[in-house]
């Protein structure tokens, strides 16, 4: 039995297969309408979510399966003090696969150790968010035709942004990918990403404060929200929340074939005037998210592609 806790749980070849399956699903959606008939997905969300939970649920429904679950810790036995391990043992009796989001780093790993069904990490605190990364990879590959030979700018809250951590871990495995890490000093990437991932793999990267200066060299700009819920005090959040706001003026500095991604939700960091720019890919990204989750559910349940 396999889980998806971290993007590195899948080799580059396996990710490649998964993205190809997702792309086949995109183009032949109706052919997959019954491949998971009779299967049940549990969505265990201890933290708020719109896209990730609904995208998992929509993915399973498009595969012919069913869904059950909860969307806040308050409405589960967590509110009575039940451990994640006990909850997943229980859920293993009701469902065939589970997607879990939890505010504590490492909680998906804890769940996987107690589980009798595949566990998908749908975000564990400020740590990892591997299915957002699959979404990001599919978006980049679909828009540019490649995952290698590019410069990616990651901008905003690189400290607490789990989507950033997962994306960097996944992208360092492709040849000639360079990173420009654009953040205020207080929100730079954690050392386990800088030292254990980027430096350890001899990846070319720089850490800068200015988005304007970085713009012209980027092939992908990955904007992120300042993660309010991970701050210890509100004053710091208020001081840092509007550090970067991408607008039409800034987009003039970018290449014509650069794409803007954002895991969403957006707060203030991308002005809505950018939405109509053909390089704005963040809503397209949402669509790809459902296809990759369909492909992931099929892969973990070992469901065959229809003939
Ligand atoms: C992200 C998350 O939850 O980490 N959202 C998502 O799943 N698409 C990003 C965020 O909340 O800022």
> Is the pLDDT score of 20 beyond 90?
yes
CA angle in degrees (0–180, nearest 5) for 276-168-109: 115
Whole-number percent of the chain with pLDDT over 70: 100
Q: For ligand 1, atom 6, which residue shows the shortest CA distance?
A: 263
In angstroms, what is the span from residue 31 Cα to ligand 1's centroid?
Answer: 30
Query: Could you report the per-residue pLDDT of 79-128, keeping only the tens digit for each?
Result: 899 999 999 999 999 999 999 999 999 999 999 999 999 999 999 999 99
Domain ranges of the chain: 7-128+289-300, 130-286
CATH of domain 130-286: 3.40.50.1370
How far apart, in whole angstroms, are the C-alpha atoms of residue 303 and residue 299? 6
Residues belonging to the active site: 51-52, 80, 101, 129
> DSSP for 243-300?
S--B-HHHHTTS-TT-EEE--S--SSSB-GGGTTSTTB-HHHHHHHHHHHHHHHHHHH
Are the CB atoms for 154 and 162 separated by under 8 Å?
Answer: no
In angstroms, what is the span from residue 307 Cα to ligand 1's centroid?
Answer: 35
Report pLDDT for 306: 82
> DSSP for 192-249?
HHIIIIIITTT--EEEES-HHHHGGG-SEEEE----GGG-S-HHHHHHHTTS--B-HH
Whole-number percent of the chain with pLDDT over 90: 96
Report the 10 Å Cβ neighbour count for 70: 18
How far apart, in whole angstroms, are the C-alpha atoms of residue 4 and residue 93? 20
Q: What are the pocket residues of ligand 1 if the criterion is a CB atom closer than 6 Å to any ligand atom?
A: 51-52, 123, 129, 132, 162-163, 225, 227, 263-265
At 156, give phi and psi (nearest 5°): 120, -125
Ligand 1 pocket mutation, candidates 264, 267, 284, criterion most atoms within 8 A of CB: 264
Are the CB atoms for 42 and 67 separated by under 8 Å?
Answer: yes
In angstroms, what is the span from residue 260 Cα to ligand 1's centroid?
Answer: 16
Ligand 1 pocket mutation, candidates 122, 123, 240, 287, criterion most atoms within 8 A of CB: 123
CATH fold label, 7-128+289-300: Rossmann fold (3.40.50)
Place of tokens 């979510």: 49
Of all atoms in ligand 1, which is nearest to the CA of residue 129? 4
> Is the pLDDT score of 133 beyond 90?
yes
Ligand 1 pocket mutation, candidates 222, 265, 286, criterion most atoms within 8 A of CB: 265
Mean pLDDT of 12-41: 98
In angstroms, what is the span from residue 182 Cα to ligand 1's centroid?
Answer: 18
Of the CA atoms within 13 Å of residue 189, those in its CB half-sphere come to 28
Report the 10 Å Cβ neighbour count for 241: 18
In angstroms, what is the span from residue 228 Cα to ligand 1's centroid?
Answer: 12
Of all atoms in ligand 1, which is nearest to the CA of residue 157? 12
> Is the pLDDT score of 287 beyond 90?
yes
At 151, give phi and psi (nearest 5°): -110, 120
At 172, give phi and psi (nearest 5°): -65, -10
Of the CA atoms within 13 Å of residue 290, those in its CB half-sphere come to 20
Report pLDDT for 79: 86
Taking every pair of C-alpha atoms in the chain, what is the biggest distance, in angstroms? 57
Report pLDDT for 218: 98
Query: Could you report the per-residue pLDDT of 41-90, keeping only the tens digit for each?
Result: 999 999 999 999 999 999 999 999 999 999 999 888 888 999 999 999 99
Report pLDDT for 237: 95
Question: Confidence class of residue 307 from pLDDT cuts 50, 70 and 90?
Answer: confident
Are the CB atoms for 60 and 297 separated by under 8 Å?
Answer: yes
Average model confidence (pLDDT) across the chain: 97
Nearest CA-CA partner of 109 in 3, 218, 30: 3
Place of tokens 């390089």: 279
Q: For ligand 1, atom 11, which residue shows the shortest CA distance?
A: 265
Query: Could you report the per-residue pLDDT of 195-248, keeping only the tens digit for each?
Result: 999 999 999 999 999 999 999 999 999 999 999 999 989 999 999 999 999 999
């Amino acid at each position: 039995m396999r889980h998806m806790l971290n993007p590195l749980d899948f080799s580059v070849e396996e990710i490649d297969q998964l993205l190809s399956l997702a792309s086949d699903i995109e183009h032949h959606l109706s052919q997959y309408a019954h491949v998971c008939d009779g299967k049940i997905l549990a969505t265990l969300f201890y933290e708020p979510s719109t896209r990730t939970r609904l995208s998992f649920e929509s993915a399973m429904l498009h595969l012919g399966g069913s869904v059950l679950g909860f969307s806040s810790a308050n409405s589960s036995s967590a509110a009575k003090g039940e451990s994640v391990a006990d909850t997943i043992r229980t859920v293993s009796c009701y469902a065939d696969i589970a997607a879990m989001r939890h505010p504590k780093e490492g909680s998906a790993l804890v769940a996987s150790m107690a589980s009798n069904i595949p566990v998908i990490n749908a975000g564990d605190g400020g740590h990892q968010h591997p299915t957002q990364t699959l979404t990001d990879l599919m978006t980049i590959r679909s828009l540019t035709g490649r995952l290698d030979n590019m410069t990616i700018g990651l901008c905003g809250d690189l400290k607490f942004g789990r989507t950033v951590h997962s994306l960097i871990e996944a992208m360092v495995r492709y040849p000639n990918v360079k990173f420009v890490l654009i953040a205020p000093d207080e929100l730079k990437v954690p050392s386990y990403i800088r030292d254990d991932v980027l430096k350890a793999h001899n990846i070319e990267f720089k850490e800068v404060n200015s988005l304007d200066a970085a713009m012209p060299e980027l092939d992908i700009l990955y904007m992120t929200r300042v993660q309010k819920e991970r701050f210890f005090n509100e004053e710091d959040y208020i001081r840092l929340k509007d550090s970067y706001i991408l607008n039409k003026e800034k987009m003039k500095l970018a290449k014509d074939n650069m794409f803007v991604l954002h895991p969403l939700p957006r707060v203030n960091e991308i002005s809505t005037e950018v939405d109509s720019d053909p390089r704005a890919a963040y809503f397209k990204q949402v669509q790809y998210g459902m296809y990759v989750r369909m492909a992931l559910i099929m892969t973990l349940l070992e469901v065959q592609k229809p003939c």
